[in-house]
């Protein structure tokens, strides 16, 4: 590469990073700034808005509900998807494409459209089963499916599933033992990644909760904003930082080889998985 071209490239890259970097960092910084404002433009910075977070009762209730939902969804996701994927991989490899397609389906249906069909379903559930917010975990299970399927699939592909399970079975292990003591420990980072993804998704979900009349953390943030702008932005920033931290842990967890694989796997590009499916179709 010639010197002139290298210089032009350098200038181009610096300009792009500066401009686009500013566009992305300024709103984040603005949230910090806004939530620490005093009463007037000249009064000193204060953490009042943050202190208010714990004083608003419905906020605490909503945060608890969201965390419970996140836990339930992650566990249900693991218990349902992982055995199915193992079974399909071992016994019915031809069904792989079908399962993959099914797990990608939720990506093609917009949440706001799907929720229209869920309203009568949830009306029935609230009358006949329970009207607790925790019933949302069924819907969230569908929501997290594409993302976690991809993660777990990458984890399963990285281990020699057939040999491991055959060895365990020939030593007398039942399927339960195989799953719990053979498969899971070998995929620990993929499983952790899948759980972190589900938690992040559930904590950030708004559409289903608000239109099915439940109050999760995002809905609560919106309500609080009608009362106090500073506090709502403080909570929003807190939930954002929490999710950021979770997702950043994602790119650092696991053994070095898996870590690189996970990062390059572009787990986050769930919509892009449709394209990948198309590429291999």
Partner 1 sequence: MSVAFALIGSFGLFLLLPTLVIAWGSFTTKAGDLTLANFTSINQPYLVKAFVQSVSISAVSALVGAFAGALLAYAVVTGNPRGILRRVITSASGVLAQFGGVTLAFSFIATLGFTGIVTIFLKQHGIDIFPGGTVWLYEVSGVTLVYCYFQIPLMVLVFLPALDGVRPQWREATESLGGSTWHYWRYVAGPLLAPSFLGCMLLLFANAFSAYATAAALISQGSPIVPLAISNLLTSEVGRAKPGLAQALALAMIVIVLAVMVLYAALQRRTSRWLR
267 touches 147 (CB < 8 A): yes
Q: Which of 204, 228, 253, 261 binds partner 1 (CB under 8 A)?
A: 204
The answer to the question of residue 172 lying near partner 1 (CB under 8 A) is: no
Dist CA 74 CA 191 (whole Å): 10
Q: Which is nearer to partner 1, 35 or 74 (CB)?
A: 35
Q: Which is nearer to partner 1, 168 or 197 (CB)?
A: 197
The answer to the question of residue 90 lying near partner 1 (CB under 8 A) is: no
Q: Which of 51, 119, 174, 190 binds partner 1 (CB under 8 A)?
A: 119
Residue 19: partners with Cβ closer than 8 Å, 6 or more residues away? none
Region at 216 (left for phi over 0; alpha for psi -120 to 50; beta for the rest): beta
Q: Which of 7, 33, 38, 54 binds partner 1 (CB under 8 A)?
A: 33
DSSP SS3 for 44: coil
The answer to the question of residue 84 lying near partner 1 (CB under 8 A) is: yes
Residue 273: partners with Cβ closer than 8 Å, 6 or more residues away? 104, 107, 146, 150
CB of 134 to partner 1, least distance (A): 14
How buried is 138 (Cβ within 10 angstroms: 0-12 exposed, 13-18 middle, 19+ buried)? middle
The answer to the question of residue 267 lying near partner 1 (CB under 8 A) is: yes
CB of 243 to partner 1, least distance (A): 8
CB of 189 to partner 1, least distance (A): 16
Sign of CA dihedral 63, 141, 200, 26: negative
Task: Give the number of other CB atoms < 10 A from CB of residue 39.
Answer: 9
Q: Which is nearer to partner 1, 82 or 168 (CB)?
A: 82
Size of site (CB under 8 A) for partner 1: 86
Q: Which of 71, 114, 134, 173 binds partner 1 (CB under 8 A)?
A: 114
The answer to the question of residue 173 lying near partner 1 (CB under 8 A) is: no
CB of 7 to partner 1, least distance (A): 13
- Per CB under 8 A, which region of 61-69, 76-84, 151-159, 188-196 contacts partner 1? 76-84
The answer to the question of residue 247 lying near partner 1 (CB under 8 A) is: yes
The answer to the question of residue 222 lying near partner 1 (CB under 8 A) is: yes
Nearest to 181 by CA among 199, 170, 168, 190: 168
Task: Give the number of other CB atoms < 10 A from CB of residue 7.
Answer: 10
Nearest to 273 by CA among 149, 155, 190, 140: 149
The answer to the question of residue 183 lying near partner 1 (CB under 8 A) is: no
The answer to the question of residue 7 lying near partner 1 (CB under 8 A) is: no
Residue 274: partners with Cβ closer than 8 Å, 6 or more residues away? 104, 107, 108
The answer to the question of residue 138 lying near partner 1 (CB under 8 A) is: yes
CB of 225 to partner 1, least distance (A): 7
CB of 57 to partner 1, least distance (A): 19
The answer to the question of residue 240 lying near partner 1 (CB under 8 A) is: yes
């Amino acid at each position: 590469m010639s010197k002139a071209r290298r210089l032009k490239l350098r200038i181009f890259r610096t300009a792009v990073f500066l401009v686009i970097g500013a566009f992305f960092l300024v709103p984040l910084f603005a949230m910090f700034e806004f939530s620490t404002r005093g009463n007037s433009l000249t009064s000193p910075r204060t953490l009042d808005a943050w202190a208010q977070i714990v004083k608003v009762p419905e906020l605490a209730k909503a945060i608890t509900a969201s965390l419970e939902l996140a836990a339930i969804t992650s566990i249900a996701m693991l218990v349902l998807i992982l055995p199915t994927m193992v079974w399909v991989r071992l016994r019915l490899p031809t069904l792989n494409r079908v399962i993959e397609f099914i797990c990608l389906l939720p990506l093609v249906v917009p949440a706001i459209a799907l929720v229209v069909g869920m309203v009568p379903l949830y009306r029935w559930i609230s009358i006949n089963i329970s009207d607790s917010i925790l019933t949302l975990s069924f819907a969230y299970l569908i929501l997290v499916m594409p993302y976690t399927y991809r993660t777990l699939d990458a984890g399963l592909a990285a281990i020699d599933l057939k040999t491991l399970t055959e060895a365990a079975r020939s030593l007398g292990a039942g399927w339960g033992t195989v799953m719990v003591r053979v498969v899971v420990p070998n995929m620990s980072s993929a499983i952790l990644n899948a759980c972190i993804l589900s938690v992040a998704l559930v904590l950030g979900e708004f559409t289903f909760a608000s239109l099915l009349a439940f109050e999760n953390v995002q809905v609560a943030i919106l309500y609080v904003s009608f009362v106090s702008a500073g506090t709502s932005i403080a909570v929003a920033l807190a939930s954002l930082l929490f999710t950021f931290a979770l997702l950043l842990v994602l790119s650092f967890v696991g053994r070095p080889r898996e870590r690189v694989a996970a990062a390059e796997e572009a787990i986050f590009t769930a919509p892009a998985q449709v394209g990948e499916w198309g590429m291999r179709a």
